[in-house]
Amino acid sequence: MSGSSVVVVTGASSGIGRAAAEMFVARGCRVFGAVRELRKAPALPGVEFVAMNIREEDSVQRGIESVIDRATRIDVLVNNAGMMMIGAVEETATAEAAELFDTNVFGMLRVTRAVLPYMREKRRGRIINVSSVLGVLPAPYMGLYSATKHAVEGLSESLDHEVRQFGIRATLVQPAFTRTNLDANALRVKARIGDYDRERDLVSLSVADSVSSAPEPHGVANTIVEAALGPWRMRRTPPGEASLLTKLRRFLPAGPVDASLRKKLGLV
């Protein structure tokens, strides 16, 4: 992929998506930022915003078609838009879980399906799916969020096998906590069960502390840009905690990893 690539970034109004859009512009790309409401789009020099609600099929199709009308092709898709949920598995209503999957998994699927015909036609493309270290290291009280990221991991590997015959590659970026609004905007389960209050509150506080002390989004954004424009690798993990956690999961026995996670979350 070259610096003159046409790039679509979902969830581009803030956080990781915004930082990635700015970095792609700095690398000479033509960048389209997908946002739910154009009136809420920030002023980002060089970024062309398109309206797209990834939970609505027609909205996704219209958004991608508008990019094709203006740029004639899409070289890179960054599936970044997503949401978080905190709550015990037992507390989570099926409808709440479905809402989370509709954004984090099916939203990604809608946008990918809309873009792939144009990439197949050109016989080239790169699809970057933003996962999480929770996609390999599940955490308590984030069970459904972890489940969506596990789904993204499996979907992305299967996708890469299928589309490489067309000169298209899919890759995963696995950040740890990053200083964004993901935690502040996280869904909280509605039907709370008192028996879980103590631990759930401890985890919520730990997550908030981790986010407030986490690095700014630029490190993750840089990893996304390198995943899109650099040599292909199935997984790219930003430096720092994300890289450390994925290595611990891969190389340490399950017992110490489990104990370390519970200690970090205050569940000892």
Helix residue spans in 27-170 (DSSP H): 57-71, 94-101, 108-122, 143-163
pLDDT at 265: 81
Token readout for 70 is 């203006």
Distance CA 215, CA 242 (A): 11
pLDDT at 104: 97
Which secondary structure element, helix H or strand E, spans residue 127, and what is its range?
Answer: strand 125-130
DSSP code of 220? Answer: H
Token readout for 87 is 């709550």
| Average pLDDT, consecutive stretches of 10 residues, N- to C-terminus, the chain (268 residues) | 87 94 97 94 94 98 98 98 94 96 98 98 98 86 95 98 98 83 73 95 86 82 96 88 65 76 79
pLDDT at 213: 73
pLDDT at 180: 67
pLDDT at 25: 97
Question: Over the range 161-190, which residues count as b (16 or more CB within 10 Å of their CB) and which as e?
Answer: eebeeeebbbbbbbbbbbbbebbeebbebe
Scanning the structure block, which residue is given the tokens 């994925």?
246
pLDDT at 181: 64
pLDDT at 222: 95
Distance CA 90, CA 153 (A): 24
Domains observed in the chain = 6-264 (3.40.50.720)
Q: What are the catalytic residues?
A: 13, 131, 145, 149
Contact 148, 104 (CB under 8 A): yes
Q: What are 204-236's pLDDT values in tens digits?
A: 888 888 777 777 889 999 999 999 999 999 999
pLDDT at 216: 83
pLDDT at 167: 98
* Inter-helix orientation angle 143-163/94-101, to 10°: 40
pTM comes to 0.92
Token readout for 65 is 């078609």
Contact 30, 68 (CB under 8 A): no
One DSSP character per residue, 152-212 reads HHHHHHHHHHHHGGGTEEEEEE-----SSSTTTT-EE-SS--GGGHHHHHHHHHHHHHHHH
